[in-house]
Chain A
């Protein structure tokens, strides 16, 4: 199980604990990674607002690099996953588009044939590592912990580009992993909704309202913790939770964990190794609940 590893900008920037925690868990699951150091940012759907073709060229460059290595790509960010999946979908389905983009790549001595698969870590856990191996890796089942999933838009929509037809279990992947780790899934209506991050620049009150709504809703449904496969959602749900609570005049205090942090806890890893002190909303209540504080 070897992958070209695309960490994404935020795991190397605003959420270093994501990079730190995924580095701790992947070798223990039989995964090998080769980090893509020369691949650019996907554009995060933002650069695409200015120039969609430019975004597709940058992502075709990344896809071609992995194709040259003969490796599928592993992402740890819903947004990176979605943007690359959409680019890959356009490149491989729109007639003549791949040729057009390859003409640009050709001057760099590169060509993309359209064969690279891009998989988020949460899909790899279920589709490649497999449930049995994942169960075996659990050394400290998260018994009694009530975890609410929060996906991030880009790993849910548009489903046609994300391979949901071929792999329908992807739509429920977080719930499946949470259950396998021994925790209880807290279902709530906001789990596939927008975290508000893209709205932050243009409508901050609206963005904060979304943060407050989703985190409070999960808590009211009984969640001890929320878990996300998207560091951009994490920036909003964790980073801005205090501001959102103040804005909406309510108390929230819901710890938000990156998926590899939750997984690492179930694997028996030390909280410091998973960067749990770096989360802005204290994760201590989670550790106390698990008896590891």
Chain B
């Protein structure tokens, strides 16, 4: 089928370096991947087109790029799965990292953040004579996260990174989980303490972009949620993120449904009065419109709340 590839180009050596789109038309086969097409464009149409690739089999993680607005491995994305005949495939470099040239991004920052979580085993106690052993069933839950090939797709599409560049990001947090949850690692508390800092595990906005775009099913956001649960379990110092979670759970246990004003007060706490007060203009606009939810004793629990409370209690019992 005839396909148009609209590719974002950028040449840092141009007189006035600026990114722009360039269209290429190509006849593609049903079996062609986007990478096949890009290589053919480079070899037969425009040798200046720059991209990074190696294994062509979704193993090396080199050809991460945005295809029709979402990060993906070009070698794992069939052209026919993206468009019908005559339609246009948009190809752009990954987001949330600097572009070196055309579709090639600078991943130095990505690697720096991976190093930040100390991605190596840190056992405690005397070293065993042989290997550090772990039962296979104690490692099964880590196989998913070990599939990560460091392609950067999750980082590219991370919504939190767009507004908070110091966020350590989904790839590094998935890697952190890999060690926090490793039964042989002895440094979980300290790791969780580090991850509890600004830019760490509470900075994720739970948009699930990282789950959706991961070519290996790592499910980074699910791992981040488990890190948060482990952080609370380990008693890391409270943050507005952890207070929000704890208050949310308490309110549902008491009332079965959300008490929004109570949640806000318990999240921000009296220590952050300034932030609370900054919402006053919104509250004054909401009041006359009858939009301010009831709270405290005026906000009654749902009918059958006793059952919900019993479910909370039973969930805490050992299985």
A201 & B207 in contact (Cβ 8 Å cutoff):
no
Residues of B contacting A194 with CB < 8 Å?
Answer: 159-160, 205-207, 209
- Give B145 Cβ to nearest chain A Cβ, in Å: 16
Taking the complex as formed, is A2 at the interface, i.e. its CB lies under 8 A from any CB of chain B?
no
The stretch of A114-122, A134-142, A152-160 that contacts the partner chain = A152-160
A202 & B252 in contact (Cβ 8 Å cutoff):
no
Looking at the complex, which one of B207, B259, B307 makes contact with A153 (CB distance below 8 Å)?
A: B207
State whether A38 and B304 are in contact (beta carbons under 8 Å apart), knowing that A14-B291, A153-B206, A202-B239 are contacts in the complex.
Answer: yes
A203 & B258 in contact (Cβ 8 Å cutoff):
no
One digit per residue, 1 when the CB lies within 8 angstroms of any chain A CB and 0 when it does not, for chain B 235-248 equals 00001110111101
- Give A218 Cβ to nearest chain B Cβ, in Å: 16
A206 & B163 in contact (Cβ 8 Å cutoff):
yes
B163 & A203 in contact (Cβ 8 Å cutoff):
yes
Residues of A contacting B249 with CB < 8 Å?
Answer: 46-47, 50-51, 54
Near A by CB (< 8 A), chain B positions 194-241 give 202-203, 205-209, 211-212, 225-226, 228-229, 232, 239-241
One digit per residue, 1 when the CB lies within 8 angstroms of any chain A CB and 0 when it does not, for chain B 173-210 equals 00000000000000000000000000000110111110
Cα(A38)–Cα(B256), bound, Å: 8
Near A by CB (< 8 A), chain B positions 41-78 give 69
B229 & A50 in contact (Cβ 8 Å cutoff):
yes
A49 & B245 in contact (Cβ 8 Å cutoff):
yes
- Give B60 Cβ to nearest chain A Cβ, in Å: 25
Taking the complex as formed, is A28 at the interface, i.e. its CB lies under 8 A from any CB of chain B?
no
Residues of B contacting A10 with CB < 8 Å?
Answer: 258, 260
Residues of B contacting A53 with CB < 8 Å?
Answer: 315
A243 & B282 in contact (Cβ 8 Å cutoff):
yes
Interface range for A: 35 or more
Taking the complex as formed, is A61 at the interface, i.e. its CB lies under 8 A from any CB of chain B?
yes
State whether A14 and B260 are in contact (beta carbons under 8 Å apart), knowing that A50-B232, A280-B289 are contacts in the complex.
Answer: yes
- Give B314 Cβ to nearest chain A Cβ, in Å: 5
Cα(A129)–Cα(B122), bound, Å: 58
Residues of B contacting A103 with CB < 8 Å?
Answer: 319
State whether A206 and B252 are in contact (beta carbons under 8 Å apart), knowing that A100-B319, A108-B310, A157-B212 are contacts in the complex.
Answer: no
Residues of A contacting B130 with CB < 8 Å?
Answer: none
Residue in chain B with minimal CB distance to A110: B307
- Give A115 Cβ to nearest chain B Cβ, in Å: 21
Looking at the complex, which one of B207, B209, B259, B310 makes contact with A107 (CB distance below 8 Å)?
A: B310
Taking the complex as formed, is A44 at the interface, i.e. its CB lies under 8 A from any CB of chain B?
yes
Cα(A17)–Cα(B291), bound, Å: 8
One digit per residue, 1 when the CB lies within 8 angstroms of any chain A CB and 0 when it does not, for chain B 251-291 equals 01000111110000001100000010011011001100111
- Give B205 Cβ to nearest chain A Cβ, in Å: 4
Taking the complex as formed, is B109 at the interface, i.e. its CB lies under 8 A from any CB of chain A?
no
Residues of B contacting A243 with CB < 8 Å?
Answer: 278-279, 281-282
A46 & B245 in contact (Cβ 8 Å cutoff):
yes
Residues of B contacting A15 with CB < 8 Å?
Answer: 291
State whether A201 and B267 are in contact (beta carbons under 8 Å apart), knowing that A50-B246, A209-B163 are contacts in the complex.
Answer: yes
Cα(A103)–Cα(B256), bound, Å: 21
Looking at the complex, which one of B212, B307, B314 makes contact with A38 (CB distance below 8 Å)?
A: B307
Looking at the complex, which one of A52, A153, A209 makes contact with B208 (CB distance below 8 Å)?
A: A153
Taking the complex as formed, is A13 at the interface, i.e. its CB lies under 8 A from any CB of chain B?
yes
Taking the complex as formed, is B293 at the interface, i.e. its CB lies under 8 A from any CB of chain A?
yes
Cα(A198)–Cα(B293), bound, Å: 19
- Give B19 Cβ to nearest chain A Cβ, in Å: 15
Taking the complex as formed, is B296 at the interface, i.e. its CB lies under 8 A from any CB of chain A?
no
State whether A57 and B159 are in contact (beta carbons under 8 Å apart), knowing that A40-B257, A41-B257, A157-B211 are contacts in the complex.
Answer: no
State whether A199 and B281 are in contact (beta carbons under 8 Å apart), knowing that A41-B258, A49-B225 are contacts in the complex.
Answer: no
Looking at the complex, which one of A12, A50, A207 makes contact with B257 (CB distance below 8 Å)?
A: A12
State whether A199 and B310 are in contact (beta carbons under 8 Å apart), knowing that A49-B225, A240-B282 are contacts in the complex.
Answer: no
Residues of B contacting A58 with CB < 8 Å?
Answer: 252, 308, 311
7 nearest CB pairs, A to B:
A206-B163, A13-B293, A9-B258, A38-B304, A194-B207, A157-B208, A194-B159
Q: Mind listing 30 A-B residue pairs with CB under 8 Å?
A: A9-B258, A9-B260, A13-B293, A16-B291, A37-B303, A37-B304, A40-B308, A41-B257, A43-B248, A47-B245, A47-B252, A48-B225, A49-B232, A50-B232, A50-B249, A51-B315, A54-B311, A54-B315, A61-B308, A157-B211, A193-B159, A194-B209, A199-B160, A201-B244, A202-B240, A202-B241, A203-B163, A207-B163, A243-B278, A279-B289
Apart from the given pairs A58-B252, A201-B241, A239-B286, 18 other A-B contacts in the complex at a CB distance below 8 Å: A13-B294, A38-B304, A48-B225, A49-B225, A52-B226, A54-B311, A57-B311, A104-B311, A104-B315, A194-B206, A198-B205, A201-B267, A202-B240, A203-B163, A206-B164, A206-B205, A207-B163, A280-B291
